[in-house]
Amino acid sequence: MMIFDTHAHYDDEAFDGDRELLLEKMAEKGIGRIVNIGADLDSTKQSAALAEKYDFIYAAAGVHPSDTDHMTEADMDCLRSTARCDKVVAIGEIGLDYHYPDIDKASQKKWFQRQLALAEEMKLPVVIHSRDAAQDTLAIMQENHAERIGGVIHCFSYGWEMAKIYLDMGFYLGIGGVLTFKNAKKLKEVVQRAPIDRLVLETDAPYLAPEPFRGKRNESPYLSYVAEALAQLKGLPVESVVQITAENAEKLYRLEHMPNE
Ligand code: NI
């Protein structure tokens, strides 16, 4: 049974010391496929390069809201040409992040909208990052008919009411290490109420490692702990959770079905 990690950042410098070693061992550690997510232009290019190098890695092209301040039209062109590569399966991560003070909300909104439009133009799903910006994210997605684009709300962190709206728009919810945290009451409720066929597993590696590795560098094999927590909440065998979430991920990223041995 192979796990599909729908969101990781193996281009991150946290992996500079052992990236190849780690990636070469994914299959034997139960990881079937990984989508490496772009956070800026540089990491988008590195994601595409990783996807070219490794069969089981795919890439997403996008600029994270924390990095849109100095974005230019030339950057959009660069994203567009990277998005044309065969193994680029999504636009992301894109969205809004109001967590830190002194952020430029107008610029975040502008480039979120532009990248949503790029996804629609390229007929690719989106990977949405939304933190402390629930209402504005939803408003922009509704205005831009995100239901026609589809995708995943990565590291879903809002309540059931918001989850329901995104599920009704056809979106998947990305579930990661936070689910294993003791204080994750809200997320546990969302997971209990959401249909299992709309949940996907994600690490956000190197961030958000699950218990018992909380605070350490995250790696895709740790997803077994998230799958275990999900299985318990859903009252399903962990093998079913791994298989169903992998099939969901294939649908989300519009990949061919890979028989899960
Ligand atoms: Ni991420």
In tens, the pLDDT along 17-59 reads 999 999 999 999 999 999 999 999 999 999 999 999 999 999 9
Q: What value, to the nearest 5°, has the Cα angle with vertex 24 and ends 6 and 240?
A: 40
Q: Classify burial at 220, counting beta carbons within 10 Å of its beta carbon; exposed 0-12, middle 13-18, buried 19 or more.
A: buried
Per-residue pLDDT, 258: 79
Q: How far is the CA of 37 from the centre of ligand 1 (A)?
A: 6
For ligand 1, the distance from its centroid to the CA atom of residue 19, given in whole angstroms, is: 17
Candidates 53, 65, 62, 67; CA nearest to 82 is: 62
Distance between Cα 94 and ligand 1 center (Å): 10
Is residue 183 scored above 80 in pLDDT?
yes
Residues 4, 98: Cα–Cα separation, whole Å: 29
- Rounded to two decimals, the pTM is 0.97
- What is the side-by-side strand order in the sheet with 151-153? 3-8, 31-37, 57-61, 88-97, 126-131, 151-153, 172-175, 199-201
Distance 226 CA to ligand 1 centre (A): 16
Q: How far is the CA of 90 from the centre of ligand 1 (A)?
A: 13
What are 105-121's pLDDT values in tens digits?
Answer: 999 999 999 999 999 99
Span 209-216, average pLDDT: 97
Distance from residue 234's CA to the centre of ligand 1 (Å):
25
Spacing, Cα 120 to ligand 1 middle (Å): 21
Question: Distance from the CA of 204 to the center of ligand 1, in angstroms?
Answer: 5
Phi–psi pair at 235, nearest 5 degrees: 65, 40
Task: Give distance in angstroms: CA of 64 to centre of ligand 1.
Answer: 8
Give Cα 257 distance to the centre of its chain: 19
Neighbours of ion ligand 1 (CB under 5 A): 204
Structural domains of the chain, ranges and CATH numbers in brackets: 3-252 (3.20.20.140)
Predicted pLDDT at 261: 54
Å from CA of 24 to ligand 1 middle: 21
Backbone φ and ψ for 182, nearest 5 degrees, come out as: -60, -35
Rounded to the nearest angstrom, the gap between the alpha carbon of residue 23 and the centroid of all alpha carbons in its chain is 18
Measure 202 CA to ligand 1 centroid, in angstroms: 9
Token pair, residue 27, equals: 């299959």
Q: Could you give the CA distance from residue 253 to residue 150 in angstroms, rounded to a whole number?
A: 10
Residue 257 pLDDT greater than 90, yes or no: no
- Angstrom distance (rounded) from CA 71 to CA 76: 8
Q: Is 186 exposed, middle or buried (0-12, 13-18, 19+ CB in 10 A)?
A: middle
